[in-house]
Amino acid sequence: MNTAELFGDPDQWPDDDLVAVTGVLGPHLVLAALHEGVFPMPLGRDVPRALRGGTGWWSPVRRGVLPIDRLRVARSLRKTCRRYTTTVDQCFDEVVSCCGDPGRPGGWIDGSIRATYGGLHRDGWAHSVETWDDDGRLVGGLYGVCVGGLFSGESMFHDAEHGRDASKTALMRLVLEMSTVRPALVDVQWLTPHLASLGAVEISRQEYLGRLDELVTASTPSWRPRTMSGAQLLAALER
């Protein structure tokens, strides 16, 4: 597929985060879009009726990214992460389900997203990181798609009762996995205070697109499935 034909010339994109709307979504389309710096998210009800139910394709004017060498682990996080263990790709569907809990404010993960990213996971493109407490509960996690040295993060969650800082701990494990290749970058799409506290920053759309080719053609992380304690995770990050 010639990805240059998907969304056209970025210089002609609107000065807006939303660059296109389609009525289709599928694994191959997601992969091709990521090579253009675009990702999907269903449109909500605050759009014209004719567009409702469609898939929005987004490329933020100000892109949130986490350079893996900028990860910031606060003292309080160093303490809480020791309560947990982390794994990789052990329960992808459950992580997506938790991220898509309809009780979460602003929930956007629907059936088409679940099916599409489940297919990407089965094909080895999408990955999850899980955070577990001492009782064996899944208390946090994240998922996204990895192409070369680019991890496009889709969503993360934590259990409000049992999982303080559990999503941050999952992000720490993700950074460790991505640190095995160069260049590498975690795309968090939009910057939030939660992500900024971990070292995420904003860059322009132009800068992000300019770095894509080098990132997506880099080597791919090995995605080690082994269970790591919080103490092991901290030690590995400090090497």
Q: Where along the chain do its domains lie?
A: 4-61, 63-237
Strand partners, 158: 140
pLDDT of 53: 67
Percentage, residues of the chain above pLDDT 90: 83
Integer CA distances (angstroms), 21 to 47, 51, 54, 138, 190, in order: 11, 8, 6, 35, 19
| Burial (0-12, 13-18, 19+ Cβ within 10 Å), 137 | middle
Distance CA(44)–CA(34), nearest Å, equals 22
Residue among 119, 110, 146 at smallest CA distance from 219: 146
Enter the DSSP assignment of 35.
Answer: T
Give 63-237's CATH code, choosing from 3.40.50.2000, 3.40.630.70, 3.30.70.20, 3.90.320.10: 3.40.630.70
pLDDT of 17: 96
Its CATH class, for the domain covering 4-61, is alpha beta
pTM of the model: 0.93
In this predicted model, what pLDDT tens digit does every residue of 23-77 receive, in sequence order? Answer: 889 999 999 999 999 999 988 656 555 566 689 999 999 999 999 999 999 999 9
Distance CA(231)–CA(9), nearest Å, equals 47
